[in-house]
């Protein structure tokens, strides 16, 4: 029987899904192919790179006969040559472009991973690590040391871990290792380094973190240069490492779009295989936000001898567009066990002998996860760690009963009435800070800094429980509490977030500014980096802004790559809302440094934490079985 399935879900369908389906039906005359097209296009809209047609739980389930008929259609191929659609051996059905992105990306990663060598002898590594981790305890730093020692000789390296596990601290040391042993690693004597991130905000945070990491290491290396009567402890490498540290850039991190020379006019990139990036080492932070197409572009824009280091937290939300690249890469490699040769090299350098994998895993030893958290005293840490994987049911029961775990708090929010009470409570708890923002004569730099202390994050964009509805509610409640004129769109202290890139004005999606009354009337102030990475303040007339929204509350998706002291997270009260996932809650809570609260119902929280994101695609298998 090769009838098309008659229960393809019609919900959440985009106009493009319908147009493409109709077009395929008209041109091919095959209702079966049209149904598969609809499934693949709809799947892409939900972030999947393909539709798994054989999935009994999928909206569109194709039986064996239907799959057989589909496989024989002239428009469907196995990926070895161009066909509009690809049906692979596991019954994953791809639009050609997504097939290309996935298979080319997998091939590029595997090719880079296969080039790995171990060029530095153990004794030299031991000396290096002594200098780079001087004064730091063994044990908790084992995986940081392992990463620094394992990166020389790799062309592709992924360092992951939750917030505060020391990814930036470690990457500075990894870069120093590459600089120190550049030629042995097949790099030029003075390799050039590019820092990049998927969004401007994340790029800004990366440069700040690298600058801080460099300064801390500089002090540590400098201390031993004058060992104050204890010359025996001096490590002769330190002056050299200290000099090399200057070669690590800390002022200029670019967005991936800028790094790759994005051309908005024709939605293409100037950097690619024919015009590769000049840099020898490329570091990309917040890699969980990078989608399949962009990651392929990046891999193909690297010279074969360049080194790519990806940093990120695969527990966070996947990219907005199709793919869950970082999570797939991490899932394709055994979690921290090393291949025997690397394990043997590193064992004498670590307190605990590293676990060994004998599986023929292509990426083993090139994907490392940091597990020790360094944010001492953070009352949020237990909650963040609990939420990163499927939480222990006992932990969740206790949280729901006690309504708090350290600095993570729950507030019951089943309806708009309760939401208003949550907002009023939030305003009271932060009244001093809000008052200072809403009072004229605030310094722009200071106001922007204060604004970053607080952020409300919403799972939804629209409706009373979405960011837009909440912004309106907050403006009304602030008007009552602080006497501002809530009927006007613009008022002193209104925070706004840009929602569309404006290359001409230098304002980008996600930039947050604040409206302040001054001598020139009301202007909206932003902290922006120039092309050299120098941060400065710039103001715009409200009329000159590209598309924007109020930013008391923003969506969790928009908050990725940012960090705030205090975060309140609003989840919809309906547990069946499909937006609720564990990654969403984890991403929101891990934006907070000191305090977080969740406004929702117990059922919604339980539902979210029981629902991990599962994106359909074949990347992790392709990486596992080259």
Of 64-72, 161-169, 472-480, 552-560, which part binds ligand ATP (CB under 6 A)? 161-169
Q: Are strands 495-498 and 548-550 parallel, antiparallel or unpaired?
A: antiparallel
Q: Judge whether 596 and 331 are in contact, CB under 8 Å.
A: no
Q: How far is the CB of 197 from ligand ATP (least distance, A)?
A: 11
Minimum distance, C-beta of residue 586 to ligand ATP, in the bound complex (Å): 13
* Residue 204 near residue 179, CB atoms below 8 Å: no
Give the whole-angstrom CA distance, residue 360 versus residue 194: 32
Distance of CA 474 to the CA centre of its chain: 28
Smaller CB distance to ligand ATP: residue 253 or 299? 253
CB nearer ligand ATP, residue 144 or residue 297: 144
Q: How many residues bind ligand ATP (CB under 6 A)?
A: 15
Query: Does 198 contact ligand ATP by CB under 6 A?
Result: no
CA–CA dist 160, 253 (Å, integer): 19
Cβ proximity to ligand ATP: between 220 and 399 the closer is 220
**What is 548-572 written as a DSSP string?**
EEE-SEEEHHHHTT--EEEEEEE--
Q: Could you tell me the smallest distance in angstroms from the CB atom of residue 161 to ligand ATP?
A: 5
166 binds ligand ATP (CB under 6 A): yes
Nearest approach in angstroms of CB 245 to ligand ATP is 15
**Closest residue by Cα to residue 491 from 469, 453, 525, 517:** 517
Which of 30, 42, 169, 381 touches ligand ATP by CB under 6 A? 169
DSSP string computed for 461-484: SSSTTBHHHHHHHHHHHHHHHH--
Cβ nearer to ligand ATP, comparing 107 with 136: 136
Q: How far is the CB of 163 from ligand ATP (least distance, A)?
A: 4
CB of 198 to ligand ATP, least distance (A): 14
Q: What are the phi and psi torsion angles at 423 (to 5°)?
A: -65, -45
Binding-site residue ranges: 161-168
At closest approach, how far in Å is the CB of 408 from ligand ATP?
16
Q: Does 165 bind ligand ATP (CB under 6 A)?
A: yes
- Do strands 454-458 and 564-570 pair parallel, antiparallel, or not at all (unpaired)? parallel
Of 169 and 319, which has the nearer Cβ to ligand ATP?
169
> Based on CB atoms, which residue is closest to ligand ATP, 97 or 382?
382
The reply on whether position 30 binds ligand ATP by CB under 6 A is no
Of 55, 198, 59, residue with least CA distance to 618: 55
Segment interacting with ligand ATP (CB under 6 A) among 165-173, 184-192, 413-421, 456-464: 165-173
d(C-alpha 448, C-alpha 322), whole Å: 33
* Long-range Cβ pairs for the range 463-471 (8 Å, 24+): 463/572, 464/416, 464/419, 465/419, 465/570, 465/571, 465/572, 465/573, 466/555, 467/549, 467/553, 467/554, 467/555, 468/549, 470/419, 470/423, 470/552, 470/553, 470/570, 471/549, 471/550, 471/551, 471/552, 471/553
Q: If you ran DSSP here, which 8-state letter would residue 119 be given?
A: -
Query: Do the bridges between strand 495-498 and strand 512-518 make them parallel or antiparallel, or are there none, so unpaired?
Result: antiparallel
Rg (the chain; Cα; Å): 26
Shortest Å distance, C-beta 375 to ligand ATP: 6
Question: Alpha-carbon torsion 340, 341, 342, 345, what sign?
Answer: positive
- Return the axis-axis angle of helices 416-429 and 431-438, rounded to nearest 10°: 80
Residue 619 backbone dihedrals phi, psi, to 5 degrees: -60, -45
C-beta neighbour count of 165 within 10 angstroms: 21
Binding region for ligand ATP (CB under 6 A) out of 164-172, 223-231, 232-240, 511-519: 164-172
Q: How far is the CB of 209 from ligand ATP (least distance, A)?
A: 5
Nearer to ligand ATP, 209 or 516 (CB): 209
Task: Give the whole-angstrom CA distance, residue 71 versus residue 65.
Answer: 10
| 161 lies in the binding site for ligand ATP (CB under 6 A) | yes
User: Among residues 92, 167, 450, 558, which is the contact residue for ligand ATP, using CB under 6 A?
Assistant: 167
Region of 463 please: left (phi>0), alpha (psi -120 to 50) or beta.
Answer: left
d(C-alpha 372, C-alpha 165), whole Å: 6
Of 69-77, 156-164, 347-355, 508-516: span binding ligand ATP (CB under 6 A): 156-164
Does 332 interact with ligand ATP (rule: CB under 6 A)?
no
Please, what is the minimum distance in Å from the beta carbon of residue 144 to ligand ATP?
A: 6
Specify the residue, 76 or 209, whose C-beta has the smaller distance to ligand ATP.
209
Residue 583: φ, ψ to 5°:
-60, -35
Out of 75, 96, 374, 482, point to the residue binding ligand ATP (CB under 6 A).
374
Which of 41, 42, 103, 168 binds ligand ATP (CB under 6 A)? It is 168
Binding part of the chain for ligand ATP, among 21-29, 166-174, 467-475, 493-501 by CB under 6 A, reads 166-174
47, 163, 617, 618: residue in contact with ligand ATP (rule CB under 6 A): 163
Is residue 314 a contact point for ligand ATP (CB under 6 A)? no
d(CA 23, CA 21): 5
Q: How far is the CB of 580 from ligand ATP (least distance, A)?
A: 24
Q: Binders of ligand ATP among 111-140, rule CB under 6 A?
A: 136
Q: Interface with ligand ATP includes 559 (CB under 6 A)?
A: no
381/360 Cα distance (integer angstroms): 35
Indicate the annotated binding residues for ATP. Answer: 161-168
Quick one: which of 114, 161, 117 has its CA closest to 142? 161
- The stretch among 67-75, 93-101, 167-175, 184-192 that binds ligand ATP (CB under 6 A) is 167-175
- DSSP letter at 137 equals -
Q: How far is the CB of 132 from ligand ATP (least distance, A)?
A: 10
DSSP string, 520-547: TEEEEEEEEE-TT--EEEEEE-GGG--S
> Which positions from 199 through 218 interact with ligand ATP, judged by CB under 6 A?
209, 216
Among 37, 144, 587, 604, binds ligand ATP (CB under 6 A): 144
**Residue placing its CB nearer to ligand ATP in the complex, 96 or 374:** 374
* Closer by beta carbon to ligand ATP, 481 or else 565: 565
Q: Which residues bind ligand ATP (CB under 6 A)?
A: 136, 141, 144, 161, 163-169, 209, 216, 374-375
């Amino acid at each position: 029987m090769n009838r098309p399935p008659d229960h393809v879900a019609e919900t959440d369908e985009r106009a493009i899904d319908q147009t493409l389906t109709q077009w395929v039906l008209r041109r091919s005359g095959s209702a079966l192919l049209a149904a598969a097209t609809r499934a693949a296009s709809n799947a892409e809209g939900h972030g999947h790179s393909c539709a798994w047609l054989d999935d009994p739980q999928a909206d569109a389930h194709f039986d064996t006969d239907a799959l057989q008929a589909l496989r024989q259609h002239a428009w469907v191929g196995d990926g070895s040559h161009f066909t509009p659609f690809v049906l692979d051996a596991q019954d994953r059905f791809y639009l050609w472009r997504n097939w290309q992105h996935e298979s080319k990306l997998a091939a590029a990663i595997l090719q880079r991973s296969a080039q790995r060598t171990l060029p530095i002898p153990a004794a030299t590594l031991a000396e290096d690590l002594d200098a780079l981790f001087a004064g730091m305890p063994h044990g908790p730093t084992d995986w940081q040391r392992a990463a620094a020692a394992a990166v020389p000789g790799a062309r592709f390296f992924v360092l992951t871990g939750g917030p505060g596990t020391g990814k930036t601290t470690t990457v500075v040391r990894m870069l120093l290792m590459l600089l120190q042993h550049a030629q042995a690693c097949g790099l030029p004597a003075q390799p050039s380094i590019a820092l990049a991130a998927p969004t401007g905000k994340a790029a800004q945070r990366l440069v700040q973190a690298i600058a801080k990491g460099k300064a801390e290491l500089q002090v540590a290396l400098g201390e031993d240069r004058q060992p104050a009567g204890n010359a025996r402890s001096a490590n002769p490498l330190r002056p050299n490492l200290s000099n090399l540290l200057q070669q690590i850039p800390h002022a200029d991190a670019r967005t991936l779009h800028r790094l790759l020379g994005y051309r908005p006019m024709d939605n293409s990139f100037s950097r690619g295989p024919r015009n590769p990036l000049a840099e020898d080492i490329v570091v990309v932070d917040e890699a969980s936000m990078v989608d399949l197409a962009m990651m392929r572009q990046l891999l193909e824009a690297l010279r074969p001898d360049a080194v790519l280091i990806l940093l990120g937290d695969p527990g966070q939300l996947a990219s907005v567009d199709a793919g869950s690249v970082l999570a797939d890469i991490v899932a394709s490699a055994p979690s921290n066990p090393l291949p025997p040769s690397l394990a043997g090299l590193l064992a004498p350098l670590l307190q605990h002998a590293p676990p060994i994998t004998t599986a023929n895993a292509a990426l083993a030893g090139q994907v490392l996860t940091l597990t020790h958290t360094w944010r001492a005293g953070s009352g949020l840490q237990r909650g963040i760690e609990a939420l990163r994987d499927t939480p222990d049911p006992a932990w969740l029961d206790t949280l729901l009963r006690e309504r708090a775990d350290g600095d993570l708090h729950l507030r019951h929010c089943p309806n708009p009435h309760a939401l208003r009470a949550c907002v009023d409570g939030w305003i009271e708890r932060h009244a001093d800070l809000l008052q200072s923002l809403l009072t004229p004569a605030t310094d722009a730099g200071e106001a922007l800094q204060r604004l970053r202390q607080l952020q409300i994050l919403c799972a939804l964009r629209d409706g009373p429980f979405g960011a837009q509805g909440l912004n309106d509610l907050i403006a009304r409640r602030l008007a009552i509490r602080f006497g501002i004129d809530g009927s006007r769109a613009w008022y002193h202290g209104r925070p706004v977030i840009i929602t569309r890139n404006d290359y001409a004005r230098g304002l980008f999606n996600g930039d947050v500014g604040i409206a302040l009354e001054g001598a020139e009337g009301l202007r909206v102030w932003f902290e922006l980096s120039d092309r050299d990475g120098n941060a400065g303040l710039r103001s715009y007339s409200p009329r000159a802004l590209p598309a924007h929204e109020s930013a008391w509350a923003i969506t969790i998706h928009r908050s990725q790559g940012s960090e705030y002291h205090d975060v309140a997270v609003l989840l919809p009260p309906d547990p069946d809302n499909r937006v609720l996932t564990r990654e969403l809650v984890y991403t929101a809570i891990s934006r907070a440094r000191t305090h977080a609260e969740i406004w929702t119902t117990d059922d919604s929280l339980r539902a979210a934490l029981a629902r991990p994101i599962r994106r359909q695609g074949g990347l992790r298998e392709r990486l596992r079985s080259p």
